Every structure is written in structure tokens, then in C-alpha cells.
Amino acid sequence: MKINKNYQKLEDSYLFSTIAKKVSEYSKANPDKNIIRLGIGDVTLPLSKTVVKAMQDAVAEMGQKETFRGYGPEQGYDFLREAVQKYYQSRNTKVEIEEIFISDGAKSDVGNILDLFDKDNTVLVPDPVYPVYVDTNTMAGRKIIYAEANESNGFLPMPDKSQKVDIIYICSPNNPTGAVYNKEQLKEWVDYALENEAVILYDAAYECFITDKNLPRSIYEIEGAKKCAIEFCSLSKTAGFTGTRCGYTIVPDDLVVDGIHLRKMWLRRQTTKFNGVPYIVQRGAQAVFSEEAQEEIKQAIDYYRENAKVIADTMDAKGIWYTGGKHSPYIWLKCPNGMDSWEFFDKLLNEIQVVGTPGAGFGKNGKNFFRLTSFGDKAKTKEAMERFSKLF
Ligand code: PLP
């Protein structure tokens, strides 16, 4: 019996546990201080009324013999797949029902999709980025190459045509940097993938934060993408579903490798290893796409956007370099005075009692950067930025 030794190669993630430890020690030593947390990547506003009502109705259905439902289709109920299809249609992007797979969130699918690919593929992952891409490939023993994201490319790395890779991760709007690719830039990635017969894994978990109509919210807005890209999306940040759990993955029918349709492979994988998202949750997710809920959800997203603006305005006023803040809930700032990200973390905690996330936790290129998030309370975000302004 042999275990998967690749797990030994995973770097222990001390990021959030170290933050929690430092904050708890500080608050024990300074019980009178009011700590403001701008580090969280979780939402704080509740589900919309329309979504809650839809789930309550579904609970009632489940309690009646006539309307009770057992196992559903592994790839999701058609009522929800149709709602997702219409959501894409409203942005002039065509996806077929069979290409839409309902999931329990983007994190699971981003990891699970790797079942479709050979272990010997080379993977390109931006640095810094959402750590799940690196860890899931490390677990599978794949070779990882990093696309360097830094100040000089605005944290939006472009393809290196001299390099041959097989799987490409793109996250736009990006976590942690908040940077967003435009259509021309994404076109370069699509062209590169087509030329190299690579597959793009496109994480659109934060698409709802994009307000500029010229910026792409789906990779399928780019010509040729249906032949080379899989898209992951989530209701977590769009509709406050981080605890409710629902997302969707699009595997286009045109995506064919060695004569094999990846959509069919994914269907086979899902019907074998997944038994679907709860009916009650799928009814709530369907309601997310209704006109009433879209209006309610917009208010929540606007609330977070205003917080992001308060933070971004403060950085502008202080002349601090940053990305994000406009089409993203994240502000990724360059630590002032050449500080490294943990030094900066300690300074903010000790001097103004504001907690953020050190960029070092997202990759080596995050060493001198810091992530602040807009998912907190409005009054507290303002207060944090007033303290920040006085400090710098
Ligand atoms: N993708 C990115 C880039 C994220 O930042 C997150 C969560 O923070 C996820 C995916 C996970 O989304 P979900 O809650 O749908 O699993």
C-alpha cells in the first residue's frame, strides 16, 4: 500500500492561521482596542429575500409526498440550467443547456476538472493567485510553471510564446489582485491556447463586479474560446452563496482534444462521482436569476463596490500604487516604504488595529503587496481608512 506522496510536496498554508494567531494575541494584550477586519474573502450581507422565499417554498415541497424529490440529475435541474443560459444570453453570450453543469461551488469544480487531464501535462499558473490552482495540481503531481504577475505588467501576465504549456489558469477579476483582463488581452491567451492545443481553465467567480461593458465577464465573449476554454462561475460572491453552496461550470461542446469531447468526459465524471446540488439550493439559485432577486443582489454588490471605492480613494489620496478596487472586491496595494507584506501586516495591526491579508500568502510575487477586501461593514471600512490616512 502506497499513499499519494504528492501531498508531502504541498506547502503548509500558514496564512490564515498565522493571521488569526497574531490577531488573537494582539486582542488579548489590548482588550480595549477596536480591531477592524478587512482581510476576509467571505461575504457578510445576507441572502436576498426572493432567494430565501424560493428555498422556503422548496423545503415545503420536500415535506409533501406529492412534491418530494429524491436524487436529481447530477448535472443540475433544467430549470436552473435554463436560468444560467438566460443569464449568459442577457450578456449576448450563447451557451447550450448541455454545456452547463451545476456544481456546489467553483472550488470543487476547479479541483475536480483535473480528473480529465493527464498527469504529465504542464500547467501554467499566475503568481500571485488563488492558491487552490497550485495545490490541486501539486496533489496530482503535475509540473507547474508560473506566469509572473507584477507591477510592470499590472498583475496581468501575457502568454510567453516561446513556452509550451498544456493547461492555463486565468482568474479575472483576479483574486487577490483585483486585476481584470480586457478583450484584446484575453484574445491573446485564446490564440495562444489554440496554437498550442492547450486548455484554458477560466475562473470567473468575480464577474459580477465588472461594471465596464467593454470588459469581458465571460471568456466566451472572445472568438475561438469555445474551442479551448472551460469556465467556472459561482454564486458565492454574486449572491452571497458562500455558505449555501452553488456554482456552475461551462464545458463547451466544441472543446475537443484528440477527437474526444471534454463535455462528454465531464458528464461521465460528474455522473460517476457527484450526486448533484440539493434541490432546495438549486431553487434558491434559480431565484437568483429572477428580476426581483437581481435587483436585490445589485444592492448588495453596490454596497461592496462602495466599500472598495472608499479603500481605492484612500490609496489614490496617499499616492499608493494598487490594482483592483474598480471591477473587483479586492484592492491589492504596494506596501509603502518598501515594507514586506508581513511587516506591513504587523504595522497596521499594532498601530491602527486594521487587519488585511499579506500578499506573500498568494505567491512569491506578493511579497511586497497587501490585499484589502470590500466585503466588510461600510462604517467600519470608512473608519479603517480614516485611521489609515492618519498613519500615512
Ligand atoms: N475562485 C476564486 C478565484 C475564489 O477566490 C474563490 C473563493 O474565494 C472561489 C473560486 C471559490 O468559490 P466557491 O465558493 O464557489 O467554491
Give the CATH number of the domain where residue 268 resides. Answer: 3.40.640.10
- DSSP strands (E only) in the chain: 36-37, 100-103, 122-127, 143-148, 167-171, 199-203, 229-234, 247-250, 256-257, 260-261, 322-324, 330-334, 354-355, 357-358, 369-373
- pLDDT reported for residue 240: 97
Residues 276 and 323 in one domain: no
Using CA positions, which residue lies closest to atom 5 of ligand 1? Answer: 175
pLDDT digit string, tens, across residues 167-197: 999 999 999 999 999 999 999 999 999 999 9
Residues 158 and 256 in one domain: yes
Residues 377 and 234 in one domain: no
Domain that residue 313 falls in: 5-47+292-391
- pLDDT reported for residue 14: 75
- pLDDT reported for residue 13: 75
Residues 322 and 335 in one domain: yes
Residues 286 and 296 in one domain: no
Residues 120 and 243 in one domain: yes
How many beta carbons lie within 10 A of that of residue 93, not counting itself? 18
Percent of the chain with pLDDT over 90: 97
Mark which of 290, 321, 341 sits at the end of a domain: 290
Q: Summarize the confidence of residues 29-37 as an average pLDDT.
A: 96
- pLDDT reported for residue 273: 98
Mark which of 249, 264, 290 sits at the end of a domain: 290
Residues 76 and 191 in one domain: yes
Pairing of strands 369-373, 122-127: unpaired
Residues 275 and 127 in one domain: yes
Element (H, E) at 312: helix 291-318
| Pocket residue to mutate for ligand 1, from 15, 43, 103, 107, most atoms within 8 A of Cβ | 107
Q: Summarize the confidence of residues 303-320 as an average pLDDT.
A: 97
How many beta carbons lie within 10 A of that of residue 30, not counting itself? 13
Structural domains in the chain (count)? 2
Q: SS3 of 80, please?
A: helix
The whole-model pTM stands at: 0.97
- pLDDT reported for residue 23: 96
Residue 336: pLDDT band (50, 70, 90) is: very high
Please give the distance, rounded to the nearest whole angstrom, from the Cα atom of residue 371 to the centre of ligand 1: 16
CB-based pocket (< 6 A), ligand 1: 41, 105-107, 130, 171, 175, 203, 205, 234, 236, 242, 247
Give the domain CATH number at 18. Answer: 3.90.1150.10
Residues 14 and 54 in one domain: no
Please give the distance, rounded to the nearest whole angstrom, from the Cα atom of residue 213 to the centre of ligand 1: 23
Mark which of 260, 275, 290 sits at the end of a domain: 290
- Is residue 127 scored above 80 in pLDDT? yes
What's 179's DSSP letter? -
Contact residues for 81 (Cβ-Cβ < 8 A; gap 6+): 75, 97, 100, 102, 248
Contact residues for 32 (Cβ-Cβ < 8 A; gap 6+): none
Residues 256 and 343 in one domain: no
Residues 219 and 361 in one domain: no
CA-nearest of 215, 210, 219, 159 to 188 is 159
Residue 216: pLDDT band (50, 70, 90) is: very high
Residues 265 and 243 in one domain: yes
| Pocket residue to mutate for ligand 1, from 130, 201, 375, most atoms within 8 A of Cβ | 130
